[in-house]
Structure 1
Amino acid sequence: MSVDNWIQIAGMIVTGLFSFLVWQATIKSNKLSKENFEFVKEIRKIEKDIHNERELRFRRTYCHWTDKRINAMLLALVYQLGDRSEKEELIKEIPREVGLSKETMAKYFTIHEQVTIQQIYEAYNDFLKKHWLMDEINFYDAGVGDYKEAAEYLYELVAELKSTLKFSLYENAPMEELMGDVEWRP
């Protein structure tokens, strides 16, 4: 055998050795890629869960916010039925709208909830216009007309509409579950 043959044999052995090493590196690289893919998938799942929990907390806040405002409205209407002097002040303090943007309402409330909340506030504003408001801003000193009868009817209507608002989060969560510690987001 000549030197050229030995050089060819050595070249083939070195090429085979490097091919084997590249093949082993490719196998390890594929294994690491699969593990990395699974890791990224798990991270995305955790991020999605965190986002969903955050959105659920905002929904809880807005449901609780709306429920408190409707309850204050009902309390003011109950005071309208009696002869207590606080009724004038209470009726003035009740907000005339839900206080949330249309985008927030659309994002965090179902269509049924949005419609019901809107109906409650429309009925309340009609009551105010007929029995308490001189114009858009100024109130009468006392209710005008048959405001007690109208307040009683409105109370029953709002209470009935509110009872249809279950404010479900997942399935039918009661309001007690909605009252967690959450931050306000306008």
Structure 2
Amino acid sequence: MIGRLPLDEQLDALRAVLSRNDVLTEVLARTATLGLPGWYLTAGCLFQTVWNVVTDRPPAHGIKDYDVFYFDDRDLSWEAEDAVIKAGREVFAGLPAEVEIRNEARVHLWYEEKFGVPCPPHESSEAAIDCFAATTCCLGVRLEGDGRWRVYAPHGLSDVFHLVVRPNPVLAPRAVYEAKAARWRTQWPELTVLDWP
């Protein structure tokens, strides 16, 4: 089982598995051209690709969108973020998937209105990834200038490869975790969903 391999072999396995999703690798390559500070491709498109490969589904099965985080606290205006989103639309044109770009330096400005709890300002894209509702989601990948993959996985990769959904009660409310877990379980019934503490 991949989750029991040494960490360097888990990273190799992650790259091999994610590389089977052609849309994902194209999003990585195109995002790298945007020059976004502290960017990562993150969340569902990553762990769901792993779930698909582990359960013998097509690599892109059930993936709703591809989330790109970046961190730029020099200008917190919506206009600055919207300019990046519009540039992204051009870069991702023709892809058979929706790509959502968000400046994680701005999340605290809208999070409470959307989710009902306040969000302290993030200090980096990594800090934002740390706050996903499930630890399984806390995963980010980006292409460095030399073609190397940078992987951020603060909770490791074992749960991802073992199809375990574990709550991460640091920010998102219980209802968000349970709604996401229920939705995922309809598409990947093999998941083990752990209860909110």
TM range (shorter): under 0.3
Which structure has more relative contact order (CA 8 Å, sep 6+)? It is 1
Please identify the structure whose Cα radius of gyration is greater.
1
Greater share of helix:
1
TM-score, normalized by length of structure 2? 0.22
TM-score, normalized by length of structure 1? 0.23
Greater share of strand:
2
